[in-house]
Amino acid sequence: MRKFIPTPSSSTLELGFFTFHYYALAILLGIVAAIWLTKRRYAAMGGNPNEISDLAFFVIPAGIIGGRIYHVITSPQKYFGENGSPIQAVQIWRGGLGIWGAIAVGALAAFIFFKAKKRSLSFYQLADAIAPSLLIAQGIGRFGNWFNGELFGRPTSLFWALEIPIDNRPNGYESFTTFHPTFLYEAIWCFVIAGVILRLKSFKNLARTGTVFAFYVMAYSLGRFFIEAIRIDEANLILGIRLNLWVSGLMFIGSLAVFLRGSSGNTQKI
């Protein structure tokens, strides 16, 4: 009998009177890892690591709110369509954080934080310090989707396929039992990019003007484009193409231009 990746039978951990959602725990674990690594990288660049602790109080809530808003706006049918549940729009533990919204609102909060008072490093140096940390946080957070039985792709019978309970299968796919574990593909891709940034010495020379962050956005967008192409969860379409495919493509092009400009010799501190 062939073995596949099972979907966990429960998405919560019960400890007495307390209920912990694995999705929330995965997000929390990713945040803790990101703060730890960012503080180390920020200090190595000559910055005061205590600033990262202060920054976290602003950026983390902003990122979560931004990610949720993006998810709800780009998937409104689930919450406001026929048979939708508006109250679920604020139930983050059920899953659903759009990375682009999290990055945009989180970056805005960080920019305001750095402009409100003089810091030991520039905002762009912070961006370069935090780039691999965000990737690791994203990779860890994706395992929360595994516990929720979501973010999977087209049906497949490969040995690493993900078994999905019938209640979690989209309309039209009820007869299939195993699917591409796109949550796992994305997690692995995030870890690989983070490893490249942390291991390649050339990135240390670029960690001055946001070029490393541009590489993060560029590389993540490239992988997300192909992963998004095999996902089958409900999504808004533009000209018959999933919205996140458009976003990933545009983000890749824009960040590629920034990366090439920064890596060609523009090392002026901003």
> What are residue 31's phi and psi, to 5 degrees?
-65, -45
Q: State the Cα–Cα distance between residues 212 and 155, nearest whole angstrom.
A: 36
**20: β partners:** 13
Q: Examine the pLDDT at 270 and tell me if it is beyond 50.
A: no
Question: Which residues are CB-contacts of 158 (< 8 A; sequence separation ≥ 6)?
Answer: 180
- In contact, 22 and 147? CB cutoff 8 Å: yes
Q: Which of the residue ranges 2-11, 56-65, 73-82 would you say has the lowest mean pLDDT?
A: 73-82
Residue 233 has pLDDT above 90, yes or no: no
Per the model's pLDDT, the better-predicted residue between 143 and 92 turns out to be 143
The answer, yes or no, to whether residue 197 has pLDDT greater than 80, is: yes
| pLDDT above 60 for 26 | yes
> In the structure encoding, which two tokens stand for residue 119, read together?
């810091």
Q: Does residue 134 have a pLDDT over 60?
A: yes
User: If you compute the radius of gyration of the chain from its CA atoms, what whole number of angstroms results?
Assistant: 19
At position 115, the amino acid (one-letter code) is K
Residue pLDDT, tens place only, 88-119? 777 777 777 888 899 999 999 999 999 888 89
pLDDT over threshold 80, residue 3: no
> What is residue 268's predicted lDDT score, i.e. its pLDDT?
39
pLDDT of residue 207: 60
Q: Which residue has the tokens 């073995």?
A: 3
- DSSP per-residue letters across 92-135: GGGS---HHHHHHHHHHHHHHHHHHS--SS-HHHHHHHHHHHHH
Average pLDDT over the chain, rounded to whole?
A: 89
Predicted confidence (pLDDT) at residue 59 exceeds the cutoff of 80: yes
Domain positions in the chain are: 12-202
Task: State residue 203's pLDDT score.
Answer: 76
Beta strands, E only, the chain = 12-15, 18-21, 162-163, 178-179, 237-238, 241-242
- Transcribe 33-47 into DSSP letters: HHHHHHHHHHHHTT-
